[in-house]
Amino acid sequence: MRKIVHDEPGDRAGTLALIIDGDNATPKIVTGLLAEIANYGTASVKRVYGDWTKPNLNGWKECLLEHSIQPVQQFAYTTGKNATDGAMIIDAMDLLYTGRFDGFCIVSSDSDFARLAARIREQGVTVYGFGERKTPRPFITACDKFVYFDVLNALGDEAAATPAAQEAAKATAKKNATDKVLLALLRTAVAAVSDETGWANLGAVGSHVAKQSPEFDSRNYGFARLSELVEATGKFEIDRSGKTQKGVLIHVKPVPAAIKK
């Protein structure tokens, strides 16, 4: 089995398995979810798990037909125990052992999947996690990349927003770009992957940050692309000319002499 590693989402390609915890996700996120997964490869297996005799899953029917997602029935054996998680884990391991998949997309906000994600990665296969902001840290860090549900629908919400709301969002994004933790992550990544001149490939910077923080995503800060986020910080020089090498290059801006004093 092989693990796919790429610097930019658009360059990624592979055969993926998508497994969704129907008790822990809503059909509202599916359109954005599938659009996001398309950046990483093709989901040849798409399954959603749950007890379909329960009324809380009725909203899934139309979504499943539209997107050709296979529902998997799992009865609850006893009250207070989640049999759905067990069924997902067993099926995921069965799929893993076929050796057909370059990556797994696990959709849930449940920490029970942390060990599954870690086990799949041990096999050299990439894991993409998707969940709510409340997702426990162990599951997030067990994934190669983790995307929050609200990020999946961010572009659609922005398009439907009023001009005033869009301006407010831009102001918030500009403020987010000055976050001290963010700037520290970016500076550390640039230092780690830059050449002897101090210039670093933006894709390599993004990959390095993601290794430290799987949930890192420029969209969390209000920017569609990492290059836009880096530029908004005002702390980096950006070279898009492509004269020295392919891709966008960034360099930490020198501190003015007056400030040094």
pLDDT tens digits in sequence order for the chain, 261 residues long: 444 333 344 344 599 999 999 988 999 999 999 999 999 999 999 999 998 888 888 889 889 999 999 999 987 655 444 678 889 999 999 999 999 999 999 999 999 999 999 999 999 999 999 999 999 999 999 999 999 999 987 655 555 555 665 666 677 777 888 889 999 999 999 999 999 889 999 999 999 999 989 999 999 888 989 999 999 999 999 988 765 556 799 999 886 655 554
The answer to whether domain 9-152 has CATH 3.40.50.1010 is: yes
Per-residue burial over 219-241, b = 16 or more CB atoms within 10 Å of its CB, e = otherwise: bbbbbeebbebbbbbebbeeeee
Q: What pLDDT score was predicted for residue 80?
A: 44
Alpha-carbon gap, residue 210 to 169, rounded angstroms: 24
| Per-residue DSSP letter, 256 | P
Domain map (residue ranges) of the chain: 9-152, 162-260
Alpha-carbon gap, residue 248 to 84, rounded angstroms: 44
The answer to whether domain 162-260 has CATH 3.30.420.610 is: yes
Altogether, the residues listed in the chain come to a count of 261
Q: Quick check: do 9-152 and 162-260 share a fold? A: no
Strands 200-201 and 249-252: antiparallel
Q: What pLDDT score was predicted for residue 202?
A: 93
**Cβ pair 92, 72 in contact under 8 A:** no
**Cβ pair 116, 89 in contact under 8 A:** yes
Four-residue CA torsion sign, 103, 6, 251, 190: positive
Residue 16's SS3 state is strand
What is the pTM for the complete model shown? 0.81
* Number of Cβ within a 10 Å radius of residue 131: 26
